[in-house]
């Protein structure tokens, strides 16, 4: 059996300490002084809010920004984002409750929420219908029938967008191009039949389409071209089938730059998006998640020990993939900064590694519990704190909390 580990970081060096904002360092040293091994996510809601304002300001009036709650569902982050986004994208009843609490239904009676998920259960669909969300992204003919039945039983009509798995998207760049077998959406050849079903069901108001074929795209030009294609495809398909098009959801997919990568050019994207001809009365929904919150969080774990084994050095942490599984699951180099902690029990040996390559591992009884391999560090000692920036998305929510039963990572709002 092969063991999945993140790629080697060589020849990279760890981030310098000053990559960590002063208020992050201060709070971590306060936590360290409390005497309990540090193991926590630190979040700054102001960073997420600023990112949302930047994107919202760059986009035309016909665009709506719905934050994808799955990226970071910490209530403090949801509340920080609420004034700066048009709504939320949810995939569960728990996320729906967070979203509607932070941003209640509008005067028109609809909750500013869009909902996704390839296998929405009847309880989930019931909650969405009862909340009166802006759009339920329906994934199959059976889901259409369930939504209609639930809406009829409650004497209402549910707004639905049909999720489509397009045969191909004629756009270059960092995109998942569609046309692949998938549990997501209705294959394009089956769209006509799904539209017919939706239009005949009495509990459904078919408002448009949902297409989510982009992933971690750092190219503003190609992402704007993708948006244009989604709008044009939706308009043409709606016209062909006599649909009153009011809603086009292009999903998320705006990328986050790591070391050596060029960040997504928000201003350029907005400029190109403004040139897209969107039919009157149509809202184009974007569902950014990771893009809004990646840099608002830091995962920090105390170095419990430093070990040397057959010529290699390891920093063992009070945490690991039970707290921060992203580097292993996504096959990425997620770099670290070392925050020195000077307090140490008198008379106790303090192992360290200096001027060498170090692998940062967790506390679990498996070699897969590896967060970062072969990164050069100037110095790391037992008792110091390893801090992983850009951990605000798919961090706490994505981890293996129950494995071995260690305490979960804390979450602190700065």
Per-residue exposure over 127-143, b if at least 16 CB sit within 10 Å of its own CB, e if not: bbbebbbbbbbbbbbeb
Phi, psi of 40 (to 5 degrees): -160, 155
Q: Does the active-site annotation cover 348?
A: no
State the CB neighbour count (10 A cutoff) for residue 147.
26
Map tokens 């609420």 to a residue.
82
| Three-state DSSP state, 46 | helix
Catalytic option among 230, 296, 348, 365: 365
Are the C-beta atoms of residues 23 and 414 closer than 8 Å to each other? yes
User: 33: buried, middle or exposed (CB in 10 Å: 19+, 13-18, 0-12)?
Assistant: exposed
| Three-state DSSP state, 214 | strand
Phi, psi of 241 (to 5 degrees): -110, 10
First to last CA, the chain: 42
Cα dihedral sign, 260-266-268-269: positive
User: What string of DSSP letters covers 213-249?
Assistant: -B-SB--HHHHHHHHHHHHHHHHHHHHHHT----EEE
Looking from the CA of 158 toward its CB, the CA atoms found within 13 Å total: 34
Map tokens 């967790």 to a residue.
362
Cα dihedral sign, 220-224-227-233: negative
Region of 355 on the Ramachandran plot (φ > 0 left; ψ -120 to 50 alpha; else beta) = left
CA distance 86 to 71: 17
Residues with catalytic roles: 365
């Amino acid at each position: 059996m092969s063991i999945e580990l993140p790629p080697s970081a060589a020849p990279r060096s760890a981030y310098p300490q000053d990559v960590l904002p002063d208020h992050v360092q201060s709070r971590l040293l306060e936590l360290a002084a409390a005497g309990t091994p540090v193991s926590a996510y630190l979040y700054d809601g102001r960073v997420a809010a600023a990112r949302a304002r930047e994107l919202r300001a760059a986009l035309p009036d016909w665009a709506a920004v719905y934050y994808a709650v799955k990226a970071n569902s910490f209530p403090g982050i949801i509340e920080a984002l609420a004034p700066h986004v048009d709504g939320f994208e949810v995939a569960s009843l728990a996320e729906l409750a967070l979203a509607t609490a932070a941003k209640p239904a509008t005067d028109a009676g609809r909750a500013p929420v869009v909902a996704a998920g390839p296998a929405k259960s009847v309880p989930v669909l019931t909650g969405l219908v009862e909340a009166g969300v802006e759009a339920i992204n329906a994934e199959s003919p059976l889901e259409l029938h369930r939504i209609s039945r639930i809406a009829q039983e409650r004497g209402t009509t549910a707004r639905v967008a049909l999720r489509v798995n397009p045969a191909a998207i004629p756009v270059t760049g960092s995109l998942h191009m569609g046309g692949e077998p998938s549990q997501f959406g209705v294959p394009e050849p089956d769209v006509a039949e799904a539209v017919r079903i939706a239009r005949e069901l009495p509990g459904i108001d078919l408002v448009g389409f949902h297409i989510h074929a982009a992933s971690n795209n750092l190219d503003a030009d190609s992402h704007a071209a993708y948006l244009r294609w989604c709008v044009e495809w939706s308009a043409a398909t709606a016209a062909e089938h006599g649909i009153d098009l009011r809603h086009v959801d292009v999903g998320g997919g705006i990328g986050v730059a790591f070391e050596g990568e060029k960040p997504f050019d928000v201003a350029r994207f907005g400029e190109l998006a403004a040139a897209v001809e969107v039919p009157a009365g149509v809202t184009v929904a974007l569902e950014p998640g990771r893009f809004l919150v990646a840099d608002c969080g830091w995962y920090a774990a105390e170095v419990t020990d430093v070990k040397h084994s057959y010529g290699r050095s390891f920093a063992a942490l009070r945490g690991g993939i039970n707290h921060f599984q992203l580097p292993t699951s996504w096959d990425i180099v997620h770099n670290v900064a070392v925050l020195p902690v000077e307090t140490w029990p008198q008379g106790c040996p303090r192992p360290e590694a200096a001027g060498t390559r170090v692998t940062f591992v967790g506390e679990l009884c498996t070699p897969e519990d590896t967060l970062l391999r072969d990164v050069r560090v100037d110095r790391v000692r037992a008792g110091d704190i390893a801090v992983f920036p850009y951990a605000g998305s798919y961090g706490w929510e994505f981890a293996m909390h129950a494995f071995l039963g260690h305490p979960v990572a804390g979450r602190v709002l700065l």
